Amino acid sequence: MYGALWRVLPGPVWLRILIVLALVAVVLFALVSWVFPWVDSLLGPQEGTVGP
């Protein structure tokens, strides 16, 4: 899977490494911005309030 991705990338090795780093940055940004907060909201109440 990742091997196939590597082979699909164009250019010399240094360019491929740059592209991979950029992709990783995009994925991390998406995770921190949207995915992790959403998962956290599914993990049950942690709000510290009292209520019925």
Partner 1 sequence: MTSFETRPRRPRRRRRRVSVVGVIGELLITAGVLVLLFLGWQIWWNNLVVSGQQTKAAAQQSQKWIDDALKAPKAAPDTKPAQADPPVMAKPAPYEPFAVIYVPRLGPGWKRTIRQTVDVERVLNSYTAGVGHYIDSQLPGQVGNFAVAGHDSGWGNTFIDLSKLRIGDRIYVQTKDGWYTYVFRNFEFVQPSAVQVLLPVPRQPQATPTDRLMTITTCNPPFHAGERLIAYNVFQSFAPPQDVPSEIAAAVGQGG
Q: Is 13 in the site for partner 1 (CB under 8 A)?
A: no
Site string for partner 1, 29-48 (x = CB under 8 A): --xx---x--xxx--xxxxx
Q: Is 49 in the site for partner 1 (CB under 8 A)?
A: yes
Number of residues in contact with partner 1, rule: CB under 8 A? 20
As given in the structure block, the two tokens for residue 48 are 């510290």
Type of residue numbered 10? P
Q: Is 37 helix (H, G, I), strand (E, B) or coil?
A: helix
Chain-centroid distance of CA 37 in Å reads 12
Chain-centroid distance of CA 12 in Å reads 25
Positions that interact with partner 1 (CB under 8 A)? 1-4, 28, 31-32, 36, 39-41, 44-52
